[in-house]
Amino acid sequence: MSNLYCVLKIKDKQYFVTEGDIVKTHPITIEEPIQILLLRDNAETYLGDPVVENGGVEISVIGVNRIKTDVRRYKSKSRYRKNKSHSQEFSILKIIKIGSKLKGVNITVIKEDEETKEVLVKKTAEKEVKEVKEVKVDTLGFSTRIITALTKNKINTVSQLADLSKDQIIALDGLGKKSAEEILNKLGK
């Protein structure tokens, strides 16, 4: 057994923890009181009356998850069957540091790095742009004549249509001046 351990009271439940332990508890907030009932620091043991005053614990909240619980009831020969379920949240805590030199319980929330968020935002923006360009031409609300002319010229997506210049759109087979103007108005060219 390690020389550093303590007993924490979190929402009326007690947990025996050492440094590096991961604990699942009821959902907690940063303002929620976590009490230290017992603390062992190398050769010294501090027993709380009711709480340890000269010691502390550093805790980080890794995440909050849900567990779905199914409850099934069944009675034979009476056709009674009930299925109920509920989702219960729980917090995942990691014990970073235990010591008599720390004061109280310090709770920190682990968040994603700003760089990771920026990369994720860029990827989602690129994905949205791709999705916009992959939209079929018939969803833009053109008349049947324009849609038929575009499909005959093998232009099926908005990206293919946006790549064409004004002169190329006017020169497409089956499109007149008014049809070309309608396409250019929709594209904003």
> What are the structural domains, with CATH classification, of the chain?
4-111 (no CATH), 132-187 (1.10.150.20)
Identity at 72, one-letter amino acid code: R
**Two tokens at 138?**
């018939």
pLDDT in tens, 36-70: 899 888 878 888 888 888 888 888 888 788 888 88
Q: Is the confidence at residue 135, as pLDDT, over 80?
A: no
Interhelix angle 177-187/144-152, rounded to 10 degrees, is: 90
Residues near 88 by Cβ (< 8 Å), separated by ≥ 6?
66, 67, 69
What pLDDT score does 92 carry?
Answer: 85
What pLDDT score does 45 carry?
Answer: 86
What is the rounded (10 degree) CA torsion for 114, 118, 123, 128? 120
Q: What average pLDDT does this structure show over 76-84?
A: 90
**Secondary structure letter of residue 140 according to DSSP:** G
**Two tokens at 166?**
């004004």
Q: Is the confidence at residue 16, as pLDDT, over 90?
A: yes
What pLDDT score does 177 carry?
Answer: 81
Q: Is the confidence at residue 143, as pLDDT, over 50?
A: yes
Q: 32: pLDDT confidence band, cut at 50, 70 and 90?
A: confident
Of all helices (H) and strands (E), which one includes residue 85? Answer: strand 80-99
